[in-house]
Amino acid sequence: MMAATYPIGYATQRVSMAELKRRYEPHMHPAMARRIFPWVESMGGLVGIKDVPGCGGGRRTVQPIKPGFAPPGKSFHQDQRFASGIVAYSAWDLVVGTSGVHRSPTWAETATAPEYGLHTFISGEPWHIQCIEIRGWGTWDRNGRPDPSMDFPLPGTPPPPPQIPDGALQYNPPTDWWWFPLDTNKPTLREGAQDAQFLGHVRYVQDAIFFGAGGGIARDGSFGPQMAQRVRDLQTVFDIGVDGGVGPQTWGVIDLIVAGLVKPADPPTAPDIEQVSPCRYWVRPGDSPWAAGVRVYGSGHAGAEALAASLFAAPNVRIDIPTIKGVKTTVKAGEGPYAILARVGAPASALPAFYDWNGGEQRSLHPGDVVYMPLTG
- Applying CB under 5 A, which residues contact Zn ion? 93, 128
Give the residue with the Cβ less far from Zn ion, 128 or 230: 128
CB of 93 to Zn ion, least distance (A): 4
| Least separation in angstroms between CB 77 and Zn ion | 6
Instruction: Write the DSSP assignment of 330-354 as a string of letters.
Output: E--TT--HHHHHHHHT--GGGHHHH
Which residues, other chains included, contact 189 with Cβ-Cβ below 8 Å and sequence gap of 6+?
198, 201, 202, 205, 223, 245, 246
Residue closer to Zn ion by CB (options 63, 229) is 63
In the complex, least distance from residue 27 CB atom to Zn ion, rounded to whole angstroms? 15
Select from 323, 326, 321 the least CA-distant residue to 376.
326
- Comparing CB distances to Zn ion, the nearer of 136 and 162 is 136
Residues 89-120 as b or e (16 or more Cβ within 10 Å = b): bbbbbbbbbeeeebebbbbebbbebbbbbbbb
Environment class of residue 4 by beta-carbon count within 10 Å: exposed (0-12), middle (13-18) or buried (19+)? middle
Distances (CA, A) of 359 to 307, 356, 364: 18, 6, 9
Could you list the beta-strand ranges (E) of 264-343.
273-276, 280-283, 317-320, 326-330
User: Minimum distance from CB of 275 to Zn ion (Å)?
Assistant: 24
Closest distance of CB 108 from Zn ion, Å: 19
Smaller CB separation from Zn ion, 72 or 192: 72
94/304 with CB nearer Zn ion: 94
For Zn ion, which is the closer residue by CB, 119 or 128?
Answer: 128
> How far from the centroid of its chain's Cα atoms is residue 117's Cα?
11
Write the CA distances from 318 to 61, 107, 294, 321, 372, integer angstroms.
44, 17, 15, 9, 15
Residue 35 C-beta: closest distance to Zn ion, Å: 16
CB-based contacts of 154: which residues, under 8 Å, 6+ apart?
34, 35, 38, 115, 116, 117
Q: Which is nearer to Zn ion, 93 or 274 (CB)?
A: 93
Rounded-to-integer distance, Cα 253 and Cα 257, Å: 6
Closest residue to Zn ion, based on beta-carbon distance: 128
C-alpha closest to that of 216 among 191, 233, 197, 199: 233
Q: Least distance from C-beta 128 to Zn ion, angstroms?
A: 4
Could you give the strand order of the β-sheet that contains 91-96, starting from the edge strand earlier in sequence?
Answer: 13-15, 6-8, 47-49, 91-96, 128-131, 118-119
Q: For residues 11 and 202, which CB has a smaller minimum distance to Zn ion in the complex?
A: 11
Nearest approach, Cβ of residue 261 and Zn ion (Å): 22
Give min distance, CB of 105 to Zn ion, in A.
12
* Of 128 and 201, CB closest to Zn ion: 128
Write the single-letter amino acid at 28.
Answer: M
Estimate to the nearest angstrom the gap between the alpha carbon of 206 and the chain centroid: 20
